[in-house]
A and B are shown apart, each in its own frame.
Chain A
Amino acid sequence: MKELKILAVIATLVGITYYGIEPYAHHVMHPEVKEADFVFADLKNVDTKLAGNVENGKTLVEANCLACHAIEKAGHPAMMPNADAAASYGVVPPDLSHAGRIYDKNYLANFIFDPVSAMHLSHKYPVGGAKTFPMPSYNWMTGQEIMDVVAYLQSIAPKVADNAEGHKVTFESACGRCHSMKYGQLEATTSVDTIKTYMGATPPDLSQYIKSRGEHYLHGFINDPQVLLAGTSMPRVGLNEKAQEEVIAYMEETGDRKKAEREETGLYVMMYTFVFAMLAYLWKRKIWSEVH
């Protein structure tokens, strides 16, 4: 009984200290921010209830987008090698093959209407400022036309498997133009020097971001970087919830590759230790019965 009392005192002291230096300190240093918004409620320039016409969208895309964008999956290869494209635009323009699948519909429509406001980059590209975003606004299109483009992009986007390979494809389309993933042998398609000039800083390698930032932070950050890091030059990329989960899954699959093994081994080790502890307890009782 007395020993349990001592244990309780120690557990209380350690518990209070632990609470102070971990959950509490963490809460003070990283205040809670609003939940991720996958509706992109602030974007209202395009009426997304309009049903898009795939055929008309195809025509519009071929007339307006292909000068800069590749769409490999629809048979439109890139106009020039990555290095040249990056040199021309500052960053390699995205291949649109997966755009319809990974971007939220509302975001995509509003992005086409006005990229800078959708990306939350007005601080970097102010109206009438010296720098302009490489992609122009398509605000001269009607809402119907924009929704036609969106419908077309959604129709051509290939499905990907729900496994590491699939997650990798999503990561490459969503993040791979700027970010490298060294531990996944992925190099950003825009070369380091070019992207540094374009962004103002080298976008970090994301190999260990699942550990250094953690899943919770990444969920908020990817959804809207400005909320957690005001003034960052990383744009809001507009991933829908599923695509974002795939991106984070890939980050975990490369950054914390041994997670499954760790959790399984952990269970066995703890079971083994428990057996050891019980045997030790029985042995102790036997030995001490002779001296008490």
Chain B
Amino acid sequence: MAEFKPAGSMYEWFDQRLGIDKFLKVMMTEYWIPKNINFLWAMGVLLTVMFTILLISGIFLLMYYKPDMNMAFDSVNYTIMQEVGYGWLFRHIHAVGASVVFLIIYIHMFTGIYYGSYKKGRELIWISGMLLFVLFSAEGFSGYMLPWGQMSYWAAYVITEIFGGIPVIGGDLVVWIRGNFYVSDSTLTRFFMLHVLLIPLAILGAIVVHFYALRFPHVNNEEGEFFDFDKEADKYLAGDKKGSKVVPFWPVFLSKDFFVLGFFLLFFFYLVFFHYDFAMDPVNFDKADNLKTPAHIYPEWYFLWSYEVLRGFFFDIAGISGKSLGLMAFAFANAIFLVLPWLDRSPMVKPANQRPYFKYWFWFLMVDLMVLTVYGKLPPTGANAWVGFASSITFLTLFIALPFITKAEAKKVGGK
């Protein structure tokens, strides 16, 4: 055991035992971030704050929520929304936060794609990030069921039904997931468990991995420039703050994040108090009724693009049923982002607009995802069905073509 000198102050006493000085240096004041960044680099901190807000509001809701199909609806809409002091506030924050967090996730994700922050050593940041996306999706989906409204019920019904299309085990799998032949009390209770325990635990773990994966390859910058972080850090510590290409996480990087956070929260709270219908669908204020199917069933907006890929295939092709094709396309769409670092064969780490071919791919993808999202909500009838089909095919084609496009780009730029 190390020898301990008598501590001169309480701070020193703790420092001897916990290494506070060293810890703060490693985590904050000597954790180096590139200086050449814009406000899109604040999305990570925004997401951390949003997750914290969701966690805290969720804990408050948990005190009054009842995971029982006969009590859930009233426990949310009466007890929490009307009886408990400021219960409505926590519910609004939680519901709107769950929706807005996906907006920021998408911005964060497409920032990564735009600036090429997923390759040349940053593969694990990307993969852990996509893992978080999957976990947040599961968290959002399981949470949406808890108020036990009509859309909770029927969206859960439709989405769990999707697994039924898997060959051989499909039918049994659906029953295994629901805990019954239809969406019922057992489904609600297990989704409750997933939502408040298992998935949040997994998310916490994945966040730690995501942050840690960032540590060695370092954060990307606006120009995709690679430089020696140690050298730039020494420059900064030697006093050449203006000449150094890096800034410390605290206070420099975070001061900018807080500024972005402030204006983001202004937008967020506007939605929470005055414009929440997009996240709290009116249909969901009707209690779940398994005998009454709503006229239009649609998932939350952040699932719409992949939902549209699923239902885009509405007719049989070459003897394979539309349903199976849709399911395959859906599986492809959800898995393909994960391997993006290996689909991009170009060595360029540059913002998309400086890449000769990738820029077209990127903006094409953005437009296609927007079309998929909008048509994922509209009723799939008439021309809408064909728009859905075309944009689903476009989505698949874009990802199949990506290796070829980027290979050609690599040739053009000559490995730079």
Contacts and interface: CB of A to CB of B under 8 A. Distances in A.
Interface of A: 2-3, 6-7, 10, 13-14, 16-18, 20-22, 24-25, 28-29, 182-183, 204, 207-209, 211-214, 257-258, 261-263, 265-267, 269-270, 273-274, 276-281, 283-284, 287-288, 290-292
Interface residues of B, number: 53
29 contacts: A2-B38, A3-B38, A13-B370, A17-B370, A21-B374, A25-B378, A29-B296, A183-B78, A204-B286, A208-B77, A209-B285, A212-B283, A257-B82, A258-B88, A265-B273, A269-B272, A269-B273, A270-B266, A270-B269, A273-B262, A273-B266, A273-B269, A274-B266, A276-B262, A280-B259, A280-B261, A284-B255, A287-B255, A291-B241
Given A183-B77, A284-B259, 12 more contacts: A17-B374, A20-B377, A25-B377, A29-B295, A29-B296, A183-B78, A262-B89, A265-B86, A265-B89, A266-B269, A269-B273, A290-B241
A29 B296 CA distance: 8
B124 interface: no
Nearest to A264: B273
B242 interface: yes
A204 B286 CA distance: 9
Interface in B245-298: 247, 251-252, 255-256, 258-259, 261-263, 265-266, 269-270, 272-274, 277-278, 282-286, 295-296
Contacts of A278: 262
A183 B81 CA distance: 11
A71 to B, nearest CB: 35
B103 interface: yes
A204 B150 CA distance: 14
Contacts of A257: 82
A22 B256 contact: no
B378 A28 contact: yes
A6 B38 contact: yes
B113 interface: no
A16 B370 contact: yes
**What 4 pairs across the A-B complex have the smallest Cβ distances?**
A277-B262, A266-B273, A20-B374, A212-B285
B82 A287 contact: no
Contacts, number: 132
Contact of B262 (A20, A24, A281): A281
B379 interface: yes
B39 interface: yes
Nearest to B304: A21
Given A3-B38, A3-B39, A270 B370 contact: no
Contacts of B159: none
A6 B370 contact: no
Contacts of A258: 81-82, 88
A213 B282 contact: yes
B414 to A, nearest CB: 28
B409 to A, nearest CB: 22
B79 to A, nearest CB: 10
B82 A288 contact: no
